[in-house]
Amino acid sequence: MRTLLPLLLIAFWFVPASRAQDELGVGVILGEPTGLTAKQWLSSEHAVDAAVAWTFSNDTRIQIHGDYLYHRVHFFNADEYEGRIPFYFGMGGRAIFGENDTTVGARFPLGIGKTLDDAPIELFLEIVPILDVVPDTEFDLNGALGVRYYLNQ
């Protein structure tokens, strides 16, 4: 994993990003949690995503989450769009369903994602601080690598 991450970041740097409104991507997310994901673009900078996944932190449980995301392609310099990695951040919620308990919390995703020029595929990496509020107030952290295929591109 330590070797893969720098290679992916280098690859992301050289692939320009482009987004069109009303694009729907479906794919997989690997990490904590691991499962199926979807992302619906609302505009060139705004999107919503969701996942149904398995979490392995204490025991195997099902996690459902959804987020509103804001993308900043030119976060540091608006004049240098070409070849930059789109950074995104947002807010959402999650619910984890176990055999004897349910956990509910707020998610604050931070990530990077790129769509390949020659294929309708998005690669992304995210870290998500979480504030669980039910049954107890606790902080948690999720992290994942994922890929989505865009159906209507």
For residue range 27-53, list pLDDT tens digits in order: 999 999 999 999 999 998 999 999 999
Give whichever of 14-28, 50-64, 90-104 has the largest mean pLDDT: 90-104
Q: What's the per-residue H, E or C state across 140-151? A: EEEEEEEEEEEC
Could you read off the pLDDT of 98-129 as tens digits, one per residue?
888 899 999 999 999 988 878 999 999 999 99
> What is the reported pTM?
0.79
With 90 as the cut, is the pLDDT of residue 68 above it? yes
What is d(CA 24, CA 103) in angstroms, rounded to the nearest whole number?
28
Question: Residue 143 maps to which CATH number?
Answer: 2.40.160.20
Q: Which residue range(s) make up the domain with 10?
A: 4-150
Question: Which of 119, 93, 123 is CA-nearest to residue 27?
Answer: 123
Task: Give DSSP secondary structure letters for 21-78.
Answer: TT-EEEEEEEEESEEEEEEEESSSSEEEEEEEEEE-SSS-EEEEEEEEEEEETTSS-T
- Nearest-Å Rg of the Cα atoms of the chain is 16
The count of structural domains within the chain is: 1
